[in-house]
C-alpha cells in the first residue's frame, strides 16, 4: 500500500499502520511525505516546489544570467518537479526492499521516507565540493575546463561543448578547420582559455552557428571532444538510442482520445517478461474487486458502500 499524505492523514482515516497490520500482518505500507513522519517539521504539508526550495535546489538551479525583465527564465526546473521524479523512484525501491523482507521473514513492514532528505542526498557532490572549497582543498586542482552552450543553425538551437585539456582543444580546432587557434596565445593553455572565455566562445560559436546541433556535436564527438546537442521533449521520442532500447511505448488511457507514449522501464531483463503497460487506475476502478475478492464482501454490501459514498465505485465510461 502506497501513501503520499502528510503524516497523520492515514490515522485520521482509520488506516494507521497498526490498524492495517492487525488486519493483515503481512501488509507493506510505503509512505512518503515532504519532511518525514518524525521531527518538528513532520506536520508540515509540502509539494514538489516547496521541497525543492527547502532543500536549496531552487537556488542551486537558478541562473545568475537571468535578465531583469524576465526575458530569460532564471530557473532551470520551471516545467518539471525534480523531487517528484527522484522520490517516486526511490520510494518504489524501498517498497521492493520491504517486499523482499516480507518474503524472507513472513512479516510486513512500514517504510516512510522524507522527500526532502532524498533530494538533499542528490546534492552530495556539491556538498563535498563546497566543503573542500571552504578548506582551500579545491584550489589545489582548480577546474580549468571551458564548458559552454553554443548557438547552432536554426531557430533557438544549441549544443554543449566541454574543452577539458590542451589536447582536446587542439583536436577541436582541427574540427573547426582552424588549427592555428591551437597555438593562439589567448587559447593555447587551459588558464588562458579560462581567462579569455568570452573570446573563445565567440570563436567557437562562429563554427557551430553554421551547423545543426547534431552535426556539431557529432563532429566533435568523433574527434574525442565532449559535446552534445540540445534536445527538446519532443525530440526524445525520435532519439535513435531510446528507440533501439524500446524505452517508450504507446499506452491507452480511458480518458485520453489517442494513445500516449509512456516509459516501459529503464532496466530491461533477459528472463523476466516486460510488465504490462497500463495507466494508474481511476478512482474506484478496482473497488468492487478488492471488496469481493480480498475482503470477502457480498455484492449487496459492496453496492451499499458505493451508494452511501463510503467509497468510489467504478466510473461509467462512454
Nearest of 95, 76, 78, 81 to residue 31 by alpha carbon: 95
CA 258 to chain centre: 25
Q: Give the active site residues.
A: 84
Give the span between the Cα atoms of 178 and 186, in whole angstroms. 14
Task: Please give the backbone phi and psi of residue 311, each rounded to the nearest 5 degrees, phi first.
Answer: -145, 165
Strand ranges (E), 26-97: 28-33
Amino acid at each position: 500500500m502506497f501513501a503520499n499524505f502528510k503524516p497523520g492523514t492515514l490515522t485520521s482515516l482509520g488506516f494507521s499502520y497498526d490498524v492495517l497490520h492487525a488486519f493483515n500482518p503481512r501488509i507493506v505500507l510505503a509512505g512518503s511525505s515532504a519532511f518525514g513522519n518524525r521531527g518538528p517539521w513532520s506536520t508540515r504539508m509540502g509539494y514538489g516546489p516547496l521541497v525543492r526550495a527547502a532543500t536549496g535546489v531552487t537556488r542551486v538551479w537558478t541562473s545568475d544570467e537571468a535578465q531583469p525583465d524576465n526575458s530569460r527564465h532564471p530557473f532551470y526546473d520551471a516545467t518539471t518537479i525534480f523531487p517528484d521524479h527522484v522520490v517516486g523512484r526511490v520510494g518504489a525501491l524501498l517498497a521492493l526492499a520491504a517486499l523482499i523482507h516480507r518474503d524472507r521473514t513472513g512479516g510486513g513492514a512500514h517504510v516512510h521516507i522524507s522527500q526532502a532528505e532524498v533530494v538533499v542526498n542528490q546534492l552530495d557532490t556539491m556538498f563535498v565540493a563546497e566543503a573542500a572549497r571552504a578548506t582551500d582543498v579545491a584550489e589545489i586542482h582548480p577546474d580549468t575546463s571551458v564548458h559552454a552552450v553554443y548557438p547552432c543553425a536554426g531557430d533557438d538551437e544549441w549544443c554543449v561543448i566541454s574543452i577539458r585539456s590542451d589536447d582536446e582543444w587542439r583536436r577541436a580546432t582541427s574540427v573547426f578547420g582552424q588549427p592555428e587557434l591551437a597555438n593562439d596565445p589567448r587559447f593555447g593553455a587551459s588558464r588562458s582559455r579560462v581567462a579569455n572565455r568570452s573570446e573563445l566562445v565567440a570563436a567557437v560559436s562562429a563554427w557551430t552557428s553554421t551547423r545543426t546541433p547534431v552535426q556539431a556535436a557529432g563532429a566533435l564527438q568523433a574527434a574525442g571532444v565532449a559535446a552534445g546537442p540540445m534536445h527538446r521533449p519532443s525530440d526524445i521520442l525520435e532519439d535513435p538510442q531510446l528507440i533501439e532500447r524500446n524505452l517508450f511505448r504507446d499506452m491507452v488511457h480511458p480518458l485520453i482520445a489517442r494513445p500516449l507514449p509512456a516509459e516501459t522501464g529503464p532496466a530491461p531483463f533477459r528472463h523476466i517478461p516486460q510488465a504490462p503497460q497500463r495507466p494508474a487506475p481511476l478512482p474506484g476502478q478496482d473497488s468492487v474487486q478488492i471488496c469481493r475478492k480480498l475482503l470477502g464482501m457480498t455484492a449487496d454490501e459492496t453496492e451499499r458502500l458505493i451508494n452511501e459514498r463510503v467509497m468510489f465505485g467504478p466510473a461509467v465510461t462512454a
